[in-house]
Amino acid sequence: MARPKSISLVKDRIDPGPAPFIPPRPDIPITEREYFGWGYKTGWLAVKTNDMNAVALALGLREPGWAPWKEAIELAYSYDADFRSWHWMVTPPIQGWVLVMSLALIDRHFDRQDVREEFHASLSQLSEKFGEVQFFGTYRVSGIDAWGRWMNGHCLRLVSFDAHRGLEQHGNAQSSTEAELLIPEIHTCNGEEYEFVYLGEDKVVAMAAEWSLDPTQLDAHSAETKKVSLVLTGWLPLDAKISVTHN
């Protein structure tokens, strides 16, 4: 995956370890349009809970703090090359789901097999804690796409595509929505026809809408999201395992 832009925020950063608590949310005036969506060229989780602080603590985020939506999204679309760390954002609950966004998520899933397995194990642990966790990732430049669903410690469904592994499907059988999205396309090369299943970012977003929330359409929930005008941000070391803490 092509590395995104780098934003350095802290000089001589030392890893303080997982935060023991979340600082109180600042009381600031709510202005027009303080919520923003995303969905392309990144990865995100949908966690079935109304407790955004618990999610941030469970992920072990370092130095959690509060930021406006737009600023938090810009951070989560970046990594700190100088201090080898990923930025993360955690949203307030929207229709019973807390969303977590970071490029680290697709980096973990599309890494070598042992890193991928550790990442999936962490999602299983998160689903044990919260009941249900969904993972979505897409990065059109590299042609990588995935969606997955974990409940009570078990992977119910995982669909993934990248150039090295090809199309992978694990867990339960296809849903009716997936069956429509995974219809093979017919391509012709040197006069010969062959079938090819292409996922693509629009299909990833369609599955997010089917299972939980479409992050590109958060404006549709404006009345709900504007109740909390700030989101949580934090960081994790670039190569750190996502170790779920059970506070």
Q: Where are the domains of the chain?
A: 42-236
Which residues are bridge partners to 89 per DSSP?
101, 233
Cβ-contact 40, 203 below 8 angstroms: no
pLDDT in tens, the chain (247 residues): 433 443 334 445 567 777 788 888 887 665 545 557 787 899 999 999 999 999 999 999 999 999 888 888 988 998 776 667 889 999 989 899 999 999 999 988 888 888 889 999 999 999 999 999 999 999 877 778 999 999 999 999 999 988 788 888 889 888 888 888 876 666 566 666 656 677 888 999 999 999 999 999 887 765 565 555 688 999 888 777 776 766 5
**Residue 216 amino acid letter:** T
Q: Are 106 and 144 within 8 A, CB to CB? A: yes
Q: Angle CA(147)–CA(139)–CA(109) in degrees, nearest 5?
A: 50
Find the length of the chain.
247
User: Measured between alpha carbons, how far is 218 from 39 in angstroms, rounded to an integer?
Assistant: 10
End-to-end CA distance of the chain: 33
**Per-residue model confidence (pLDDT) at position 7:** 38
**For 188-223, b where at least 16 C-beta lie within 10 A, e where not — what string?**
eeeeeeeeeeebebebbbbbbeebbbbbbebeeeee
- Residue 26 and residue 230 in contact, taking contact as beta carbons nearer than 8 Å: yes
- Nearest-angstrom CA–CA distance, 136 and 166: 17
Q: Looking at the chain, which runs of residues are DSSP E strands?
A: 42-48, 62-68, 79-80, 85-90, 97-101, 132-139, 144-151, 154-162, 166-171, 185-189, 192-196, 230-237
pTM for this predicted structure: 0.85
Predicted pLDDT of residue 58 = 93
